[in-house]
Structure 1
Amino acid sequence: MLVLGRKPGEYVVIGDNITVKVVKSENGDLRLAIDAPRDVKITRGEVWEQEHKQGQAI
């Protein structure tokens, strides 16, 4: 796992076609803007965990 510190306005690039930019940071809250191709599925962590827990229960 790579851990980076970024300030609002700064970004990271993943591969050639995904950009993750910090757009707001205050009081421990963070907002990210993710620019990726439409065929790349983006899922919030809590949703991903819930989907995988349900998959294991079946």
Structure 2
Amino acid sequence: MLVLSRKKNEGIQIGEDIEITVLAIEGDQIKLGIAAPKSVDIYRKEIYIDIQQQNNEAANVSLDLLELLKNPK
């Protein structure tokens, strides 16, 4: 993991298309601005993990359903 220190209004560049800027620092929170192409999905980490879990659950249900359809009792 790369760790960088940034102050308000400073940023980092990821590749040619993504820029992250520190917009504000308030106590133990920071506000980030992210400039990226619309084709790049950006999620808060906890939301991303939740989406992945829901996708995995949906895939497992589909596999279970296929097994039931293949082997009816």
TM-score, scaled relative to structure 2: 0.73
| Superposed CA RMSD | 1.0
TM superposition shift of 1:36:
0.4
Unaligned runs of 5+ in 1: none
Larger helix share, 1 or 2? 2
Of residues 6-15 and 47-56 in structure 1, the stretch that sits farther from structure 2 once superposed is 47-56
| 1:34 corresponds to | 34
> Which structure has the larger Rg?
2
Counterpart code for 2:20: V
Aligned equivalents of 1:43, 1:7: Cα separation in 2 = 23
> What residue in structure 2 maps to residue 7 of structure 1?
7
User: Which of structures 1 and 2 has the larger relative contact order (alpha carbons within 8 angstroms, sep 6+)?
Assistant: 1
TM-score by length of 1: 0.89
The number of aligned residues is 58
After TM superposition, give the deviation of residue 53 of structure 1 in Å. 1.8
